[in-house]
Amino acid sequence: MDIVELHNRSVGAFAQLVQSVRNEQWSAPTPCAEWDVRALVNHVVGEERWTVPLMAGRTIADVGTAFDGDLLGDDPARTALIAAADAQLAAGTDVRTVHLSYGDESTDEYLRQLVADHLIHTWDLAAAVGADRSLDAELVAEVTLWFAERAELYRSAGMVGDPLPSSADPADALLAAFGRDPSWSPALDLVNRFGAAFDRCDLDAVLALVTPGCVFESTSPAPDGQRFEGADAVRAEWRKLFENTVEPRFETEETIVAGDRAVVRWHYSWRAETGGRGHVRGVDVMRLRDGKIAEKLSYVKG
């Protein structure tokens, strides 16, 4: 397929998706752990802004810091449409070589890099805002062939994460090659961040991920445990757990998310007085609300 057509389709798909982002979603997490939705869109708009001078034969030094910082302004959706249209127009110019940060590159290769970035970030954005995650099958096929020869180079440069287990589905297999979990969702991300904070015994980080009126049901005393309601009561109980346990470890074995509910199977261990490690295995049944954990009901094997 013509590379300019590939580029323009990928750019157009991303720009159209940006139009569906609701006001409250700009700060939502994305599969790119370091970026929220606004930062992700800003990154892609930045690439499109760069496309125009680079396709005109200018160098990185020529442009300097013109595209640093926030590029979205007060109307990110409109800004994304304008940047996309400018990049699509620039892609059709008669330039054979572009001057990139690592040296001169063929226009064909540069545009293929942009196609890949737009395609993967289209999925990132769709996953983050709950939109249709389906990817253009022709773009998936083209990027899959292109990336197969460059995957190790990208990973060694730290530009993509380690590959995840592949899939028979072409789009999911491509996402896995780019280090993306096709099952990622904001809810799954929330539960994973909560588990990581709990494992670090980072009480402030844990409490930042629960609602003010959160409910926690502990596993003891048997058989029914104890119920704590409200962030202050939950904080006090978890503080005791962290402070009174020697070398605690909280390891997630499996997470299942369905709508506003999550089930986490976990392994909790500590250094015992004998010098070995004691442990229990159990599950948390969670209820999620407004991007936070509203209920954590814990059960253990007994």
Q: What is the DSSP string of 27-58?
A: T-B-SSTT-BHHHHHHHHHHHHHHHHHHTTT-
Measured in whole angstroms, how far is the alpha carbon of residue 239 from the centre of its chain? 29
The predicted pLDDT at position 212 comes to: 96
Coil/strand/helix, residue 265: strand
Give the mean pLDDT of 217-231. 93
Q: Binning pLDDT at 50, 70 and 90, where does residue 273 land?
A: confident
Residues 157-202 have pLDDT tens digits of: 888 989 999 899 999 999 999 999 999 999 999 999 999 999 999 9
Locus of tokens 């190790």 = 152
- CA trace torsion 189, 194, 196, 201 (10° rounding): 170
The confidence score (pLDDT) of residue 178 equals 96
Quick: pLDDT tens for 109-131. 999 999 999 999 999 999 999 99
Structural domains of the chain ordered from first start: 3-177 (1.20.120.450), 186-300 (3.10.450.50)
Average pLDDT score, the chain? 95
- Asked whether residue 1 carries a pLDDT value surpassing 80, the answer given is no
**Residue 33 pLDDT:** 87
Confidence of residue 207 (pLDDT cuts 50, 70, 90): very high
- One DSSP character per residue, 162-173 reads PPPP--SSHHHH
Whether 108 has a pLDDT exceeding 90, the answer reads yes
Q: Are strands 210-217 and 292-300 parallel, antiparallel or unpaired?
A: parallel
Structure confidence at residue 148 as a pLDDT band (50, 70, 90): very high
Tell me: pLDDT of 274 over 90: no
